[in-house]
Amino acid sequence: MAIWTDKIQQVKISLVVAAVLIAATSLVVSHFIVRDMAREERNRMEIWAEAMHSLNIADENTDLNLVLKILEQNNTIPVIVTDQNGNVQLYRNIKLHADNATDSLEEASRQAAMMRGHQQTIKVLIDKEGEDYLLVCYDDSLLLRQLAYYPYIQLGVVMLFVVIAIFALLTSKKAEQNKVWVGLSKETAHQLGTPISSLMAWTEILRETYPDDDLIPEMDKDVKRLQLIADRFSKIGSTPERKEVLLAEILNHVVDYMNRRTSQKVSITIGNDIDDIRVKVNPQLFEWVFENLCKNAVDAMEGKGSITINAVSDGHEVYIDVTDTGKGIARNNIKNVFRPGFTTKKRGWGLGLSLAKRIIEEYHDGKIFVLSSEIGKGTTFRILMNNA
């Protein structure tokens, strides 16, 4: 599990690094392309302005074919020509939204002012003395603006790809974990089936041979316990049957089982106001959750302390709190307590709480989480069940 997690982490880091490199490369390349295109458009506008100058100083002997051809070829670069007082003389490749000529000139004048603010202007002399001139104001072409935005769009696409890829990896990881859970559970139930059947048969033989032996009923209880465990494992991976039962009945079974198997220095108590609370659950699996919580609490208390189980119902939801007086959970470990394989004990697989979370959230549509925990004082787990 840890190896798989490390691989997932490495893949996520690799994807993010690749995305950053692609985005950085795209931004750099696009910057140089945009710069070169902007320079090229400047050169084209200088030629266009020179053609405008030639048109203004032309006489009856000047061949205007080339000049007019140059002026007509500009179909992409927005350009507005104003006089030295800012009055619009003509415009080309400009989209105006005004309804009449006066408003159109005002809108064109505002756009020309913006172009002058960006210092995208070329002065065109209209007399030989140089006193009168026209100002050619231009803006970036649509292609150049699109190219400037392109790397950011590409960055968004790459990041979206990374997010989808990471989500797919996490989904794949969860699906594989589910297969491991189901396979392990089914195989465990299958392997336990044969020896349990043999033990049940041997118990019956012993009961007939030694009807007065006090140990045989205890053996029978243990065999039935093994049968219950096998039945629980067999339900993992399939939709368990749920029925409405009294919560107190389930909790009393758990407390009775734990009291027989824990130190007398550990006390387990149930709140007094839960007798009428009903929950719709699979009893075998639901008991398993509280057994795991109590066993973890006993380990956390190192065999000495108290466990208190309280429940409250508001008619729609049932809140069940399991509180211990153990050593508590460090803040940085709270988010990991339900992760498969995580444990702070020297011995153990770290699967109890993970199994409890799976039973509550996947099989009963509820929630389980750490409500509070304080180092040296204890921990409270809360189970939230929808009782509608």
| 310 secondary structure, DSSP code | E
Q: Are 359 and 286 in contact (CB under 8 A)?
A: yes
Per-residue pLDDT reduced to its tens digit, 178-229: 666 666 666 676 677 777 777 877 788 888 888 888 888 888 888 877 877 7
Per-residue pLDDT reduced to its tens digit, 295-326: 889 988 887 899 999 999 887 899 999 999 99
Q: Are 306 and 324 in contact (CB under 8 A)?
A: yes
* Predicted pLDDT at 35: 85
Q: Are 94 and 114 in contact (CB under 8 A)?
A: no
- For the record, the structure tokens of 301 come out as 């208390």
Torsion of the alpha carbons at 350, 355, 358 and 360, rounded to the nearest 10: -120
> What are the Cα distances from residue 321, in Å, to 99, 196, 330?
71, 34, 19
Q: Are 234 and 253 in contact (CB under 8 A)?
A: no
* Predicted pLDDT at 1: 47
Per-residue pLDDT reduced to its tens digit, 330-359: 888 888 888 876 676 665 555 778 888 988
Please give the CATH topology (third level) of the domain spanning 241-386: Heat Shock Protein 90 (3.30.565)
* Predicted pLDDT at 293: 92
The residues of the chain scoring below 50 in pLDDT are 1-2
* Predicted pLDDT at 285: 85
Question: For the chain, which residues make up each domain, given as ranges?
Answer: 2-145, 241-386
Q: What is the DSSP string of 46-76?
A: HHHHHHHHHHHH--TT---HHHHHHHHH--S
| 271 secondary structure, DSSP code | -
